[in-house]
Amino acid sequence: MTEPTRPDQPSETPAVPWDDSPTSWADPTTGDVPEAAPPAEAAEAPSDVTQRIPEAHDGATRALPSEPGPVPPRSPWRTSAEVTRPMAVPPPYLPPAGRPAVPPRATPPPGGPSYPPGFPPPGAQPPGAFAPYATAPYGAPPPRRGRRVLWLVLGGVVVLAAIAAGVFALLTRGPEVGQLYAQCEGGDAQACEDLFQAADAGSAEEEFGRTCGGRTDGSVDCADADMTAPPNSWSASGGEGEADIAALYSACEAGDGAACDQLFSAAEPGSAEEEFGRTCGGRSDGATFCDGADFMGEPPNSWEPSTTIGEATTYGDDPYLDGLWDACAGGDMVACDDLFMESPFGSEYEEFGDTCGGTTSGGEWCDPNREP
C-alpha cells in the first residue's frame, strides 16, 4: 500500500496524475458512484499548491496541483496608486541593547571629508585632496613659507644702512671740506690737493682744489704752481692771469724749459704766447717738450726751420737736431724717433735716428709704446 502524500510535505516521488474516470469515485462498500460535481470556474479555483481529495478506495490522499488562472498582461504605464505610493524609509538609528544612544557627529572627524561618504558634491575637491588655502589635516607637515618676507627685511636693512652711511658721511665730511677750502684759498698747496680728494665728485669744492684755488687750469700739481698768486686769478675762458702769462713768457725766454711747457698749456690757443711756449722760446720746431732739452741754452728765437734743417746733414750742422742726437745717444728712444722723422732724407741725422742711436738695424720704431 502506498503511503499517502501530505500537503505540507512535498514528496520526492512525482504526484499521481488525476483520474477523472467515474470508477475512481466509487464507494468501496456500496459501489455507488457519486454524481460528478459541476466543474468550477477557473477564477474560483483554489490557489493552494496541493488539494486534499475525498478518501478513495484505499483511504489515501493525493496531491492536486493547482491550475493557475489566466494572468492578464501588465500595462507599461504605472497607475496613480503606484505613483503616489510612498517610498520605503529606513528605520531610525537605534543603539544596540545595553549601550547609550550617541547622537551623530555635528562635524566630520579630523582629516576626513566634510561631506557624507560617496561622491563629492559638484565643484568640490576629490577625496583626500586639500582645497585651496585650506588647513591641512591634523598630523600633516606644515606648509612651506616663501622667502619673500626674508628678502624684504634684508632689503629694508640695506636701505637703512645706506641712508645712515650717507648721513654720517655728510656730517663728518662737511667741516673737513670747509677747512680745506679755506686753507687752499690761503695758498696751502697740500690743502688744495687734499680738498680735491675729499670733495664730492663734480662739486665746486673739487674744482677749486683741482685748480689750486683757481690759480691754474688744473693740469699741474699745486706744489709746482705759484701759490702766492691771488685765488681765482686764473680765468677758465682766457687762461691764467695776464701777470702769470707775462711771468711765464719771461722765464721761458730766459731758458726755463718748464716755464715754456707751462706757458704753452696756459696761454690762449692760437696766441703768440702759446707758439712761443710750444717752440721753447723759439729754440725748436715744437715737436718735443722743452723741460730738460739741451737746446734751452741757446738764445731765444735762434731756430729757423727755413734754412737750418734744409742744409743740415750731419752732427754739428743744426743745434736742434744735435740736441735730438745727444738725447738719442743717451738712450732716449723718443728722441731717436723724433730725429728720424725731422732730419733731412738721407742725412746722417736720419740714419742715426733710424738705428736708435746705432743699437738696431733700423726699420722699426725705437719707442715700443709709439703707435704707427
CA distance 37 to 46: 16
The predicted structure's pLDDT at residue 192: 93
The predicted structure's pLDDT at residue 184: 93
Is the separation of the CB atoms in 291 and 278 below 8 Å? no
The predicted structure's pLDDT at residue 86: 60
Angle between helical axes of 189-198 and 148-185 (0-180°, round to 10)? 160
Question: Helix or strand or coil: residue 346?
Answer: coil
In the numeric block, which cell numbers belong to residue 73? 498582461
The predicted structure's pLDDT at residue 252: 93
Sign of CA dihedral 54, 58, 59, 62: negative
The predicted structure's pLDDT at residue 298: 87
The model's pTM is 0.27
Is the separation of the CB atoms in 276 and 246 below 8 Å? no
Quickly list DSSP for 210-267: HTTTTTS-SSS-TTTS-TTSPTT-SBTTTBS-HHHHHHHHHHHHTT-HHHHHHHHHHS
The predicted structure's pLDDT at residue 144: 60
What does pLDDT average to in each consecutive run of 10 residues of the chain (372 residues)?
Answer: 50 50 51 54 48 49 55 60 59 65 55 56 59 56 66 86 78 71 91 89 87 85 86 61 80 91 84 89 85 85 60 79 90 90 84 89 83 62
**Domain residue limits, the chain:** 156-234, 235-293, 304-367
